[in-house]
Amino acid sequence: MRYAVLGDIHSNLAAFEAVLQDIESRGRFDKIWCLGDVVGYGPEPRECIELLRNYDHVCVAGNHDWAAIGKLSTSDFNPVAARACHWTAQQLSPEDIDYLQQLPLSICQDDFTLVHGSPREPIWEYLLGSETAQDNFAYFETPYCLVGHSHVPLIFELFEGVAIYRVFPEGDSLTLAENRLIINPGAVGQPRDGDPRASYAVYDTDNQTVSHYRVEYDIAATQKKMMERGLPLPLIARLSRGW
Ligand code: ZN
């Protein structure tokens, strides 16, 4: 089986379509494992939900998914994120709201636990350093965990009780072995590691590998749609910088 592991689509349809095309160009895949934040920030929330639902998939809830349906207050969001969230809320159909409403906080698939932020705090916690990651290994049962939320492709590996982290380089294939892992495939719709290309991973059960890929998409097309919809300028500009 081959699983498309992706998250933080953030209403960026052009990026999501480019990722799906890129995966298919590398071979058939069986299912999408989505790590949350389908909506928020970008110009096409409904289209992204619809495209995801066209595929066999599982998806966990992200903070933006909850905020868009009023399940989470935007008081902790920065002002531009909150503005985009209120715009997103106005676009969603009742079916979209039902879909986002039923997303679970955590899902187990094979040897993996899927969450948005962290196993300990699936909605809010960012895993960006070894200490936080080390604590989080106690909060899931499976050997491996997949996270999103930080929009940065990273690997946390537990060596004899100590978590070590490293960036997950493009084109790298990580072979699953004894050591427990927390893996972030990066963001589809709003990368924040200085590389503006969409980021995702593929889990291949035959080889027991997780491979990381980047793909260019039409950033200008997404930015144009954001302008037309009056979304905040800082959110439009950051897509070009990947930050
Ligand atoms: Zn996100």
Q: Per residue in 120-164, pLDDT tens?
A: 999 999 999 999 999 999 999 999 999 999 999 999 999 999 999
Q: Is the pLDDT of residue 236 over 90?
A: yes
Q: Is pLDDT of 76 > 90?
A: no
| Contact criterion met (CB below 8 Å) for 164 and 156 | yes
Q: Which residues contact 38 (CB under 8 A, 6 or more apart)?
A: 9, 10, 11, 45, 48, 49, 52, 59, 62, 64, 65, 100
pLDDT in tens, 196-220: 999 999 999 999 999 999 999 999 9
**Residue appearing with tokens 């592991």:** 5
Distance (angstroms) between ligand 1 centre and the Cα of 148 equals 7
> Ligand 1 centre from 190 Cα, in Å?
8
What's the 1 CA to ligand 1 centre distance in angstroms? Answer: 27
- Closest C-alpha to 132, from 105, 160, 110, 154: 154
Closest listed residue to residue 22, CA positions, set 208, 202, 242:
202
Taking only the tens place, the pLDDT of each residue in 22-73 is: 999 999 999 999 999 999 999 999 999 999 999 999 999 999 999 999 999 9
Ligand 1 center to 92 CA (angstroms)? 18
- The pTM (predicted TM-score) of the whole model is 0.97
